[in-house]
Structure 1
Amino acid sequence: MSRVLGMGNALVDILARMENDELLKKLNFPKGSMQLVDAETSSRVLQEIANYAKEQASGGSAANTIHGLSCLGVSTGFFGKVGKDELGAFFKKDMSENNIEPKLLESDHASGKAVALISPDSERTFATYLGAAVELSAEDIIDELFHGYTHFHIEGYLVYNQPLIEKALKCAKEANLIVSLDLASFNVVEDNLAFLKDMVAKYVDILFANEEEAKAFTSKEHKEALEEMAKHCNIAVLKLGKKGSLIKHFESIFEVGIIPANSIDTTGAGDLYAAGFLYGLINLLPLDKCGAIGALLSGNVIEVVGPKMETDRWDKIHTELEKLRN
């Protein structure tokens, strides 16, 4: 049986919808970026949105993907670090309630949180305080962590701790797991380009990137970017938002469309696409079907605020999934 282990920053998402983008200018946050902030800046952002309507959900890129896989019926686990606080307890409870094995370490410091500032056009900009999540270290990676798993999904956000991500990728490959990496954010790629290219070439089987991340990784766009990505791994997946996605495996390129959707928040769209794609792969479906399942999940999650979907929406997804599998 296939089992997927995810590893990433264990964060609680605080989601706030903005009436315009003036706050981004005030905070000097590039729209659509992920900004790593300190505790003081995080508090300032929370003060700025004190009167906004807000929602809370366990988050972090890899955790969102693992949650999606679990909702599709895949056996999963998640490795990360949280604080011994209310947010940490919230994160762990959410994992357990969704049948995800919480392989969580605990810290005396505060749990990480990501404030998602959602623009009127549904684009989101993150102010991320890593807190306890950043304390995950290479020494925490042990061989036993990967026992019983067949796949390993990791987020690019961890790349700021290069010894950690390198040891995790190396151990996963030595344990014969299929490794997938989501590049996470264009500024993350720009800051760690040489290292990321080295890691992908050595250890990564499946590489996920959106247009901006792919451009940062390859200095190219669209199919040229896809071709360049595919030189470094077995399967390259380029997510193009409203234009669908492109997948390359050896000499084959697949173009995948989208489903009609009323987008209100793109938080989790890429993460849920990865969940759908990996689900298809685990079930030995053709790569165009894997992409179509990714599109099904991402098209649904952008119709809700945050990276989580309610049970009745998942029921509809499962109905559509049966049609796609046949």
Structure 2
Amino acid sequence: MGAELTPDRALAAAAPTVVGLQPVALIDHVARVDWSLLDSIPGERGGSTPVAIEELEHILQDVKTHMLSAPNDPVSVKTIAGGSVANTVRGLSAGFGVSTRIVGACGDDDEGQLFVSNMSFNGVDLSRMRNKKGPTGQCVCLVDESGNRTMRPCLSSAVKLQANELMREDFKGSKWLVLRYAIFNLEVIKAAITIAKQEGLLVSLDLASFEMVRNFRLPLLELLQSGNVDLCFANEDEAAELTRGEENDGPDAAVEYLSNMCRWAVVTLSANGCIAKHGKEIVRVPAIGGSKPADATGAGDLFASGFIYGLVRGLSLEDCCKVGSCSGGAVIRSLSGEVTPENWHWMYKQMHGKALPLPEIRN
């Protein structure tokens, strides 16, 4: 007869490999729209500018008269659980068979129910989500004719997980903590990192958007310079903002810059693939897919899913990048930051062709 597990050991045995912190649960409204709508809304095209609920509802109304359709995807609008961290952990669970959990708060409204339903369906553990009275966050993701996305999130009135609500049990027994930089979540991010490090987790940070890096660069640098961020992802626009004013700039300089503060540094370059550094090793990997993206929403988030899967499996830096390119290439083939079953199958074929280890669980 085997020894019984103590409560702490039972928790560790059941703990997911990857925990994602998303203080505000989010619902994405993803729509293909014509250029004229993008020209009529405030903020820069291609970025992420916060809006009030009234502006979000106004944009959703305007979407109805500006929608585009695509021959290979008849869905013009998709409403789904969203947010960078949610996209990454959902991808790890649904596509790579990695056990995941999301920690945060969602409201007692229809959007909160939709978030829970979608994430649960994709195998993400929601046992540490806090349900609160109030609205769930929402974001309009506008996809133009080139497949590029412009985001307008509404988070100011949404329920949120506070720093003092975090517990060791949120992270105990896990291996990785996945975060997205946001100035309005800075205190809870710092608190999560502190507890995660006490529990021995590695920490991954996504730089969120070029506006977030541009407007709140100093707090970001303090976070990176703490030495507690093990893995950092930046796209080329975020990298440009990060190295603005430095002696050297560009993706290569950004990777070097990040590698001085993080064990793994990755800069994604859209159609040009990615560049990554770990220790003294630098690799460049081309994009995988080749076709024009239907929607770039979630491309970086799913790249992170594949890269972290590679680290969990103990793959080389180059192979981690290759898996990331495969998963990033899969999500851009259809609307929203969720990969369809057909596109997971496409990704597995790409991985098989490159002799990359396939997940044990496939949809």
TM-score norm. by structure 2 comes to: 0.86
Question: Partners of 1:19 and 1:132 in 2: how far apart?
Answer: 29
Change (3 A) 1:295 1:127: same
The answer for unaligned runs of 5 or more in structure 1 is none
Contact 1:68 1:272 survives alignment (8 Å) = yes
Q: How many residues align?
A: 324
Deviations 1:201-226 (A, max 9, x none): 22100000001111212222121111
Larger deviation: 192-201 or 272-281?
Answer: 192-201
1:15 deviates by 0.7
> 1:177 pairs with 201, 204, 212, which one?
201
| Partner AA of 1:110 in structure 2 | P
* Mapping for residues 21-100 of structure 1, pairs under 5 Å: 22-51=36-65, 52=67, 53-71=76-94, 72-100=96-124
* Mapping for residues 101-120 of structure 1, pairs under 5 Å: 101-102=125-126, 103-120=128-145
1:279 aligns with 2:309: yes
Question: Partners of 2:309 and 2:158 in 1: how far apart?
Answer: 27
> 1:292 pairs with 298, 312, 322, which one?
322
Partner of 1:154: 179
| Partner AA of 2:356 in structure 1 | R
**Aligned to 2:265, what secondary structure does the other structure show?**
strand
Contact 1:110 1:131 survives alignment (8 Å) = no
> 1:126 pairs with 123, 148, 151, which one?
151
Contact 2:105 2:130 survives alignment (8 Å) = yes
| Partner AA of 2:80 in structure 1 | A
Contact 2:133 2:159 survives alignment (8 Å) = no
**Structure 1 runs (4+) greater than 4 angstroms displaced:** 131-134
1:110 deviates by 1.1
Partner of 1:236: 265
Partner of 2:213: 189
Partner of 1:6: 20
**Aligned to 2:34, what secondary structure does the other structure show?**
coil
Contact 2:273 2:285 survives alignment (8 Å) = yes
Contact 2:255 2:277 survives alignment (8 Å) = yes
| Partner AA of 1:198 in structure 2 | E
Deviations 1:19-48 (A, max 9, x none): 22x222211221111111111111111121
Change (3 A) 1:78 1:315: same
1:181 deviates by 0.3
| Partner AA of 2:162 in structure 1 | S
> 2:164 pairs with 123, 139, 142, which one?
139
Question: Partners of 1:113 and 1:35 in 2: how far apart?
Answer: 13
Deviations 1:65-100 (A, max 9, x none): 001100210000001211101110011011111111
Greater CA radius of gyration, 1 or 2? 2
TM-score norm. by structure 1 comes to: 0.95
Contact 2:207 2:233 survives alignment (8 Å) = yes
Change (3 A) 1:226 1:41: same
1:318 deviates by 2.7
1:255 aligns with 2:255: no
Contact 1:11 1:59 survives alignment (8 Å) = yes
| Partner AA of 2:316 in structure 1 | P
**Aligned to 2:344, what secondary structure does the other structure show?**
helix
Question: Partners of 1:59 and 1:247 in 2: how far apart?
Answer: 26
1:132 deviates by 6.1
Contact 1:83 1:132 survives alignment (8 Å) = no
| Partner AA of 2:34 in structure 1 | E
Q: Larger % of helix: which?
A: 1
Deviations 1:110-131 (A, max 9, x none): 1111100111111111110125
The answer for unaligned runs of 5 or more in structure 2 is 1-12, 68-75, 358-363
Q: Larger % of strand: which?
A: 1
Contact 2:106 2:131 survives alignment (8 Å) = yes
| Partner AA of 1:117 in structure 2 | L
Q: Work out the percentage of aligned pairs sharing the same amino acid.
A: 33
Contact 2:25 2:115 survives alignment (8 Å) = yes
RMSD: 1.6
